[in-house]
């Protein structure tokens, strides 16, 4: 839901309560003042932690029926760099944390080779719940879950977003272009710079060939990030 839609709904609610309860509920001056505040301001009142608490019981799509845990994301809420993957896998579902399986270990290793740790960044996914058998996210699931990512990014306001893998890149850029054609270019995602790279699981599929490509991408990403902060 967009900020405008939320504010329209909220305004209608305030008007309706006022009609019943008059000035006892909210006086005219307060209502008029509230209306002058841009919708985005209302959304930014909440902390990332509060947002997580509020949405972690999500039942918008059927994935809530098969999940063990809602995987909101983890890391530094004040970071300048957010990594976005596809969806939780089995280990992530069990632990309630993103990228804690094989892919995550590889990501940690590559970050460590540049003297970095995931704790400095924030890591999350397009989908917050595991699709059964790790199948690809369905379009309806993406449509329902994507606004959570938008709001996470709105609250963190990173200097740079990095999508990991084709699903995240294609969802965020609304395209079907392959990662190898999208990488090493800066895109604009909702007013924030976005870089695209491979998913660590792609690296694992052919380590000797793919790892140097991923490491090189990550070096360029981290260098670019350092130039922004």
> Which residues in this chain contact ligand URA in the complex, by CB under 6 A?
85-89, 92, 98-99, 101, 103, 125
Least distance CB 103 / ligand URA (angstroms): 4
φ/ψ of 14, rounded to 5, equals -65, -40
Q: How far is CA 157 from CA 31, 77, 79, 110, 217, in A?
A: 29, 9, 8, 24, 23
Separation between Cα atoms, residue 192 and residue 36, nearest integer Å: 26
Nearer to ligand URA, 156 or 203 (CB): 203
Q: Which is nearer to ligand URA, 7 or 70 (CB)?
A: 70
Minimal distance, residue 81 CB to ligand URA, in Å: 16
Nearer to ligand URA, 61 or 167 (CB): 167
CB of 29 to ligand URA, least distance (A): 48
Q: Which residue is nearest to ligand URA (CB)?
A: 85
Residue nearer to ligand URA on the CB measure, 86 or 141: 86
Tell me the C-alpha distance between 24 and 112, whole Å: 58
* C-alpha span between 209 and 26 (Å, rounded): 65
DSSP character string of 73-87: -EE-TT-SEEEEES-
Query: 194 near 172, Cβ under 8 Å?
Result: yes
CB of 94 to ligand URA, least distance (A): 12
């Amino acid at each position: 839901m967009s900020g405008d839609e939320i504010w329209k709904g909220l305004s209608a609610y305030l008007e309706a309560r006022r009609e019943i309860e008059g000035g006892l509920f909210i006086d005219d001056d307060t209502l008029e003042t509230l209306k002058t505040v841009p919708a985005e301001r209302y959304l930014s009142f909440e902390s990332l932690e509060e947002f997580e608490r509020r949405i972690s019981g999500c039942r918008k799509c059927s994935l809530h029926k098969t999940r063990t845990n809602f995987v909101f994301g983890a890391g530094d809420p004040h970071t300048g760099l957010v990594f976005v993957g596809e969806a939780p896998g089995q280990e992530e579902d069990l632990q309630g944390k993103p990228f804690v399986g094989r892919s995550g270990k590889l990501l940690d290793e590559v970050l460590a080779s540049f003297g970095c740790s995931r704790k400095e960044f924030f890591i999350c996914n397009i989908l917050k719940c595991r699709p059964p058998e790790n199948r690809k996210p369905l379009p309806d699931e993406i449509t329902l879950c994507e606004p959570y990512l938008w709001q996470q990014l709105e609250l963190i306001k990173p200097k740079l977003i990095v999508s990991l893998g084709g699903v995240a890149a294609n969802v965020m850029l609304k395209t079907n272009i392959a990662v190898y054609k999208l990488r090493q270019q800066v895109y604009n995602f909702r007013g924030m710079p976005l870089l695209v790279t491979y998913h660590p699981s792609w690296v694992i599929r052919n380590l000797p060939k793919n790892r140097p490509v991923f490491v090189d991408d990550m070096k360029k990403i981290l260098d670019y990030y350092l130039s922004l902060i």
